[in-house]
Each structure stands twice: as structure tokens, then as C-alpha cells.
Amino acid sequence: MASRRRPPRVALLVETTRTYTRELLAGVRRYVAAHGPWSCFIELRALESGPPPWLRNWDGDGIITRTFTQEMADVIAATGLPAVELRATYLRSELPFVGMNSGLIGQMVAEHFFDRGYRNFATYSLHTERFFEERVQNYIAAVEGRGGVCSLLPEPISDRAADWEKGQARLMEWLAGLPKPVGIFAANDQLGVRLLDACQRAGIAVPEEVAVVGAENEETLCAFANPPLTSVRFDGATVGFAAAELLARLMRGGAPPKGGTLFPPKGIVVRESSDEFVINDRLVAHAARMIRENAAAGLNVDDLCRKLNASRSTLDRRMRTAIGRTPKEEILRVRFREVQRLLRETDLTIEAIAGLTGFAHSHYLQAAFKHAYGQTPGEFRGKKIA
């Protein structure tokens, strides 16, 4: 009786610490489920994880990798096995690459800012990775292609606490000198979080003065930022599926493609760090900031007019002209945005949420929410609508 052919042995050398990389692995898994089986080596890995000790003498068939060090690249090359790279790096490597289209990432962010009325632009980057460089250079090209000018702050890397404080001080100084309002593209979400922290320390209003967009949509970082960070959402599942499909072809003796295999991002997940349009009226910009900071604490229109030393009719007219909403409508909009966040992210009761978002009574919140959205807060929570 003929022996059964063993399934291909594949090493998945992909870090498991990020949203994007977990999506990559999910895409590989989807391919294997449809076209396998494969015998897969997989473990919990950090980006800095080295090659597994057994890899040098492994009797395997293929590798999917995100390579961080030259040692890793050299070990993979020495195996002589078909392999696919998921990380665009400066390392010496001849592996076929599958990943995101950095040109479209930069273009998408530039369009996001232009569509919101920004005419001042900046980008905050690192020179450590090829994909960082590609993202920001394409962003700059997209801005300049539409007649804009872009400021650039490369950021030196250091893990020392003293240098963190130095870096934040340098960042605050750079932010202070930028013309405002300004749209800033951070090369990844970690840099976006640093940028928002520097704005908070310097007392710079986000998004009224500085709007920030990151990249990769690392959900933990984006949600942790203050305010939550807008970010470009990558399509890890599609990239992972395509990488597995390519590796299967290579393991069958197929030729690698010429050039990289690139996929567009899935879009921009808009959060509070860039969810407003440019406001050129200083009074309205000040009002918008006060509403954003105080609406959940019970701010009302009379309080707002008194703090701004403006009549209700004047503020109503100027806000309608600048943003298309009255002060009362803007206060409700900001309160409802926080209500929706708490409904999505917590198990707090409606009564507790009402108290945290400036509504005097839970029944008023329920009635106002249903009037605005056609459903009760409980129905919204049940459907998990964004």
C-alpha cells in the first residue's frame, strides 16, 4: 500500500504581539483551512525573537517570516527553503515580499486631512525601518502634489527614561513651532501616542489645533491614547492569505514573483484625534474645545456663553456658520459620542453612563438617544454598532 504523503511542514516566524500580525496569522490559517493541511510550527513571539534553535537543521518545507535581525535573515537563507517575507526591511534578503502598499497609506492620510480642511501638514517618523520611510515619503509626496508643504521631525530611538523625557520635550518644542491647525501623520501608532502625550503636556488642543493620524490600527495603543488615536487600518488577513498562497506555490516549485505583492489598506478608523473639521473662527474653535473637555461634566449653553463672554445668539450664529451645528447640538453630539464609547467598551448600567456623560437622569438619556439614533442605548449595546 502506498504511504500517505505527509503534509507540508511550515514555520510561521511571525510575532504575536500586535493586532496586525495576529491578523496575518489568521489569514494564513484561513488559507490552510481551505487548502491544507499543513503541519505548522507556531509559537508566541515578540518582534525581537530570534530564529528557533532547530531552524538551522530543520527538515521542513517552507517558511513565512517577519524578519527583524540580520541573523534571522541569514539563518532563513541558509536553510535553502522556500520562504515569504512579511516585513519590508533594510536587511539583506532576497525573499519575495507580501505586505501593505505604503504609497496608498500616505495618500489616504493626506486625503483625510485635505477633506477636513487642513492646509498645514507635518509628519513624525523614524529612520529605523524602510516601511516607515516609505509611508512618510508617500504622505509628503501626496501633500506636495496638492500644493501643500509638509514639516518633518525624524525621531531618534532610545529606551532610556531620561531620553524619553528629552524626546517629549523636543517634540513639544517642535509642535509649538508648527503653524496651526495642522494635520500630522505619525509613521506608526506608537509614535502617534507619543505625539498625543506631547500635545497634552504642552496644552495643545487635539484635534482643534493638532490632528493626528497613526498607522497599523494597533487597537490597544489607539484606545489608550488621549484622545483615542485615528489610524490607518491594515488588511492583515488578506496579506496572510496571499503569503500562504504564494508559499504553497513556491513549495510546489513555482517561481517567485517579480517585485513585491502589495495590498491597499482597509481604510482609516476615525477616532477623536482627527474627527473634526478645521475651524477657522477662533471663537467657535474655543467653544468646540470647551465642549469637548466639559460636555460630559454637565456643561450647558448658558455656561458656555458665560465662559466665552458671548451672547447666545452670536455663538449660535457663528457655530452654525463654522460647523453646521448649534452649541446645544454640539454638546449633545459630544455627549453621545462618549455614551457610545461606554456602551461599546464597558458593562456600566445606563444610569451610571448617564451620570458620567452629563445627563441629569437616565430616562432623559434614553429618550434623547432614541430620538437621535432610532434605537435605545440597550439596543445599541446589543448590536455593537460603531
Instruction: Cell numbers for 253, please give them.
Output: 516549485
CA–CA separation, 245 and 36 (whole Å): 10
CA–CA separation, 220 and 326 (whole Å): 34
Mean pLDDT of 362-376: 91
pLDDT in tens, 149-205: 999 886 665 555 567 888 899 999 999 999 999 999 999 999 999 999 999 999 999
Q: What DSSP letter does each residue of 62-111 carry, written as one string? A: EEEE---SHHHHHHHHHHT--EEE-S--SS-----BEEE-HHHHHHHHHH
Whether domain 9-100+236-265 has CATH 3.40.50.2300: the reply is yes
- Looking at domain 282-378, its CATH architecture is Orthogonal Bundle (1.10)
- pLDDT, residue 62, reads 96
What residue type is 361 in one-letter code? H
- pLDDT, residue 96, reads 93
- pLDDT, residue 88, reads 81
DSSP lists the bridge partners of residue 125 as: 154
Q: Which residues have C-beta within 8 Å of that of residue 320, sequence separation ≥ 6? A: 326
Mean pLDDT of 208-236: 94
CA–CA separation, 158 and 249 (whole Å): 41
CA–CA separation, 205 and 292 (whole Å): 10
Tell which residue, 107, 142, 111, 138, has the closest CA to residue 125.
138
Mean pLDDT of 224-236: 94
Strand 39-41: give its sheet, edge to edge.
Answer: 39-41, 9-13, 62-65, 83-85
271 dihedral zone (left: phi>0; alpha: psi -120 to 50; beta): beta
Tell which residue, 121, 181, 129, has the closest CA to residue 153.
121
pLDDT in tens, 258-308: 888 999 999 999 999 998 888 878 898 889 889 988 999 999 999 999 999
How high is the mean pLDDT of the chain? 90
* Predicted TM-score (pTM) above 0.85: no
- pLDDT, residue 127, reads 75
The yes-or-no answer to whether 9-100+236-265 and 102-234 have a common fold is yes
CATH superfamily of 102-234: Response regulator (3.40.50.2300)
Would you call 171 helix, strand, or coil by DSSP? helix
384, pLDDT greater than 60: no
CA distances from 151 to 143, 168, 259, 370 (A): 11, 17, 31, 45
Q: Which residue has the cell 485615528?
A: 230
Share of the chain above pLDDT 70, in %: 96
Domain limits of the chain?
9-100+236-265, 102-234, 282-378
DSSP lists the bridge partners of residue 83 as: 63
pLDDT in tens, 34-47: 998 999 999 999 88
What residue type is 121 in one-letter code? F
